[in-house]
Amino acid sequence: MTGGITFTFGGVRINDRAQVMSTGWAPVAGLYACGEMVGGLFHGNYPGGTGLMSGAVFGRIAGAGAAGE
């Protein structure tokens, strides 16, 4: 028997631009997160497949922000 982890329910806090937020609620300059690193999206359970969609959506936002768009 082996254990498997789909993803964690915790992670770093981000804003709507996928910027990682500091403990003082300010964006950390140049630091973006997406996918499984992001916390606060699911609570207790999640609908199947939404982890991939979350990664795609926030990945696009984070990539655009990091590229300066």
Question: Is pTM beyond 0.85 here?
Answer: no
pLDDT digits over 11-53, tens only? 889 999 999 999 999 999 999 988 777 877 766 666 666 767 7
Tokens of 60: 């696009």
Rounded distance between C-alpha atoms, residue 35 and residue 56, angstroms: 7
Phi then psi for residue 32, to 5 deg, are: -125, 155
Contact between 38 and 54 under an 8 Å Cβ cutoff? The reply is yes
Domain map (residue ranges) of the chain: 8-37+48-69
| Sign of the CA dihedral with 48 first, then 16, 27, and 69 last | positive
Contact between 59 and 34 under an 8 Å Cβ cutoff? The reply is yes
